[in-house]
Amino acid sequence: MLFENLLAGAGTIFSIAPSRDKRLAKILNRSDSEAIASDWQTVGGDLYSAIDKYKQNIDGKKEKQQEQSNAQ
């Protein structure tokens, strides 16, 4: 009985694996144009974040300069 339960439990592990394989297959079977589009969307998001951080840095420096000139 115990051995049968262990085998049944081990069998459930193997039934989970195909769902992972299906997701992986979907990713691997994307067309080149879909993959390139996804890559460029990531690049665009990274550029947007970098520009936003740069603008915040510039604005912060301008505020400091204004505070210093007002203090003098």
Ranges of each domain in the chain: 1-30, 32-72
Residue of 30 and 43 predicted with greater confidence? 43
What does the pLDDT look like over 3-21, one tens digit per residue?
Answer: 676 666 665 555 555 556 6
> Given this model, what pLDDT does residue 42 score?
94
- pLDDT tens for residues 18-36? 556 677 777 777 788 888 8
Q: Give the percent of the chain with pLDDT over 90.
A: 21
Which is it for the CA torsion 31, 34, 40, 42, positive or negative? negative
- CA dihedral sign of residues 39, 45, 48, 49: negative
* Percentage of the residues of the chain whose pLDDT score is greater than 70: 71
Distance CA 40, CA 49 (A): 14
Length of the chain in terms of residues written:
72
Which amino acid, one-letter code, is at 12?
T
